[in-house]
Amino acid sequence: MYTKDNIKNFQDMPEVQKNRWKIFISVSLFTFMATLDGSIVNIALPTIADSLNVPMNKSIWIVAVYMISICTFLVLFGKIGDIAGKIKVFRIGTLIFVSGTFLAGLANSLDTLVAARVVQALGASMTMSTNLGIITEIFKPQERGKALGFIGSVVSLGSITGPSVGGIIVHYLPWSYIFWLNIPFGLLTLFLGVKYLPKDVSKTKSSIDFVGFFIYAAAITLFFGSMFMGQEVGFGNTMIQILLTLSLALAILFIKYEYGKNSPLIEFAIFKNKAVTVGLICALIVFGANFFFAILMPFYLQTARGYTPSAAGFIMMAFPIVMVVAAPIAGSLAYKLGAGKLTILGLSLIALVNFLFIFIKIDMNIAYFITLVGLIGLGNAIFQSPNNTIIMSSVDKKYLGVLGSLNALARNVGNIVGVTFATTILFAAMSFKAKEHISTYVRGEEELFMFGMHITFAVSLIFMAIALLISIAQFKNSKPK
């Protein structure tokens, strides 16, 4: 029988190793719920806006406040997870998220719904900041890549399937079921957590830098708040530019302040590990590129080509289906072949598909289009699983909570920046082509949209090329392990 005093490693505990995949199911089920909730609401916004009698430009905050709150609290709870225990933080986060979900379904005004979304985001950030750390601690190196690969699949599945599932729900049921759908799965997660999640054995003696957190939170909130408002009023707006400048100043202040602390909110020393830094940068770029795809393709399929929302959703499902199958395989191969080689291969494949998207036509063969969608899913699978393995296996386990939160932060920042950049570049290119300001899809002018989409994917390709080049440089300069 083990005790916390004589064993400090989950990998040495027979009972934990026996239940490791049951623990994984508990963690991954909730990870799916949290990421699903970030995207499932988007398609229901018109219905919710009509029901609550609020204008569309205000309803966007139902989505924005969820994403901004997650990014704000991720790093804090990553630090708390390292100090108090990642599993404890994960369990509490699950309970808070389920409570927020229940309140969101009961909301009868925009204010109460936004408040419930903040509660949801608080719980989601607690789980997102600790899930990768828990998996890394529990699984031995031989299986860690496969487990992290499955987690990557779950994240992508939640992000991509959200709009499809949300569309079906609001078609047949009241919009509140978008939230209530999560409650039985949340209760199942709580049950599995009580039954299989072990008590924490890995904790660090440290303090929490709350001053640093408030500086960081202000910078994050101002930056992403101005990004969302900029989409509505334009980034040339003086107030938006002031807010962006202020957020940058606060970010610089935060970095300088943290360097002088004995126990900082973020251990910047981990960024001296180039594998971690390059991995996080590439993850941010890839998730940004994914949202270029996620934003543009519904317009292409539904508005330009005339497919129904359900048909478009099924076509786009090629992405997560391929990823679910390929990600764990890529994770397993990372241990045998080397994660660096696979990340480069995955980035190359994503870049290639972005290049091919520049030339797609309205009347292109749909089977070829589905193949491209599947290939971008394959590229993500080949990249994300090994990249997660590189990041989470490159530092001491006392930093796993913070590093897991930074990994999740990179993903969420990529999502927000991807949404903002995709729409901004699309409409700017369309305006340039039409020689007048355009801020929406112009029906009957499909070629105008296609021009804007081609330019947007060209920009996405540039970002992917940057990720590929720095990944190749890191691989050449790193020592094989």
Q: End of a domain among 243, 264, 285?
A: 264
- Maximum mean pLDDT: which of 142-156, 194-208, 242-256, 401-415: 242-256
Q: What is the pLDDT of residue 6?
A: 41
pLDDT for residue 116 is more than 90: yes
Kindly state the average pLDDT of the residues 68-81: 89
Evaluate whether 152 touches 329 at the Cβ level (below 8 Å): no
CA 439 to chain centre: 26
> Are 157 and 231 contained in the same domain?
no
Are both 19 and 88 inside the same structural domain?
Answer: yes
Residue 160: the pLDDT is 67
Query: What distance lies between CA 424 and its chain's CA centroid?
Result: 20
Nearest CA-CA partner of 416 in 278, 233, 220: 220
Report the percent of the chain where pLDDT is more than 70.
93
Chain CA centroid to CA 99, Å: 22
Rounded distance between C-alpha atoms, residue 480 and residue 462, angstroms: 29
Distance CA 24, CA 32 (A): 12
Which pairs from 268-271 meet CB under 8 Å and 24+ separation?
270/395, 270/399, 270/402, 270/403
The DSSP code sequence of 396-435 is: -GGGHHHHHHHHHHHHHHHHHHHHHHHHHHHHHHHHHHHT
- Condensed to tens digits (0 to 9), the pLDDT of residues 39-64 reads 777 767 778 888 888 876 677 788 88
Which of 205, 231, 251 terminates a domain? The answer is 205
What is the total residue count of the chain?
481
Task: Tell whether 126 and 226 lie within a shared domain.
Answer: no
171 and 251 in one domain?
no
Ramachandran area for residue 85 (φ above 0: left; ψ -120 to 50: alpha; else beta): left
Q: How confident is the model at residue 480 (pLDDT cuts 50, 70, 90)?
A: very low
User: Cβ-count burial of 443 within 10 angstroms (0-12 exposed, 13-18 middle, 19+ buried)?
Assistant: exposed
Domain ends where: 218, 238, 264? 264
pLDDT for 454 equals: 94
Residue 63 near residue 295, CB atoms below 8 Å? no
Angle between helices 86-106 and 131-138 (to 10 degrees): 140
Query: Is the sign of the CA dihedral 282, 481, 155, 406 positive or negative?
Result: negative
> Residue 446: which of 433, 436, 457 has the closest Cα?
433
Q: Classify residue 302: in a domain, yes or no.
A: yes
d(CA 93, CA 128): 9
- d(CA 70, CA 124) in angstroms, rounded, equals 7
Spatial distance between the Cα atoms of 25 and 338, rounded to a whole number of angstroms:
26
Do 294 and 196 belong together in one domain? Answer: no
- Which CATH number is 406's domain given? 1.20.1250.20
Instruction: Tell whether 340 and 463 lie within a shared domain.
Output: yes
Q: What is the pLDDT of residue 2?
A: 34
Count CB-CB contacts under 10 A for residue 124: 33
Q: Which of 445, 405, 451, 455 is nearest to 270 (CA)?
A: 405
Q: How many CB atoms are closer than 10 A to CB 155?
A: 29
Q: Is residue 467 in some structural domain? A: yes
pLDDT at 268: 79
Q: Does 248 map to a domain?
A: yes
- Side-chain-side CA neighbours of 342 within 13 Å: the count stands at 28
Phi, psi of 53 (to 5 degrees): 60, 50
Q: Say whether pLDDT at 401 is over 90.
A: no
Contacts of 410 (CB under 8 A, 6+ apart): 280, 281, 283, 284, 287
259 and 285 in a single domain? The answer is no
**Domain range enclosing 294:** 270-476
Question: 């209530």: which residue's tokens?
Answer: 180
Answer yes or no: is 481 within a domain.
Answer: no
Res 270: pLDDT = 80
What average pLDDT does this structure show over 127-146?
82
DSSP state of 197: P
Question: Is the CB of residue 170 less than 8 Å from the CB of residue 178?
Answer: yes
Residues 248 and 277 in one domain: no
Is 114 within a domain? Answer: yes
What's 345's DSSP letter?
Answer: H
* Same structural domain, 134 and 279: no
Q: Which helix (H) or strand (E) holds 204?
A: none
Tokens representing 193?
A: 């957590």
Residues 165 and 311 both lie in one domain: no
| CB 429 within 8 Å of CB 451 | yes
As a dihedral over the C-alpha atoms of residue 55, residue 222, residue 298, residue 378, rounded to 10 degrees, the angle is -160
Residue 140 has pLDDT above 90, yes or no: no
Both 364 and 377 in one domain: the answer is yes
Judgement on whether residues 362 and 471 belong to the same structural domain of the protein: yes
- Number of folded domains in the chain? 3
